[in-house]
Amino acid sequence: VGDERDVPADSPDRNGAVIAAALAGILGAGGRAAARATLHRWPEGGRAAACALYAEEIRTALGPEPVFDLAILGMGADGHTAGLFSMDQVRAADAAGALTLATRAPSPPVERMTMGAALLRRSRSVMVLLRGGAKAETLRAVLSGAPFPAASVAGPDAAFHYLDSGR
């Protein structure tokens, strides 16, 4: 799970719970693929401690210089991705070289945790999935090179997929 809201584990606002529910059929199906599948979720607790624990979990799973085969990101109408809501947050994450960091969102729940921009950007492949009319104009700006966190984090080779909701 790339980013998380600092809310109780059973909250419907928690990304890990939503992803776990979406993957329940795969993770609970049995067989070889399910036996190898692990959903890494953000630990609970204070954000600084949770970030440190999750960074260590990433290193343990992927080594000291972790690289993901595939990062699947979303994008908000404001151009944010993961828990990175401004280019200042992206630059701060890059300068610190952080695998994980605590951030603040412009709307509730405000307290967030996210993987660092450089970690996500190093992924071998990046897909950005989005839908909704409010995001269409931002997507056009991102694809035109405007400086949004989604463009910076995803990198120049990312595949953006706009899913038309039919409305």
SS (H, E, C) the chain: CCEEECCCCCCCCCHHHHHHHHHHHHHCCCHHHHHHCCCCCCCCCCHHHHHHHHHHHHHHHHCCCCCCCEEEEECCCCCCECCECCHHHHHHHHHHCCCEEEEECCCCCCEEEEECHHHHHCCCEEEEEECCHHHHHHHHHHHCCCCCHHHHHHCCCCEEEECCCCC
Q: Write out pLDDT tens, residues 12-26.
A: 889 888 888 888 877
Q: Write out pLDDT tens, residues 27-82.
A: 666 656 555 678 889 998 889 999 999 999 999 999 999 999 999 999 999 999 99
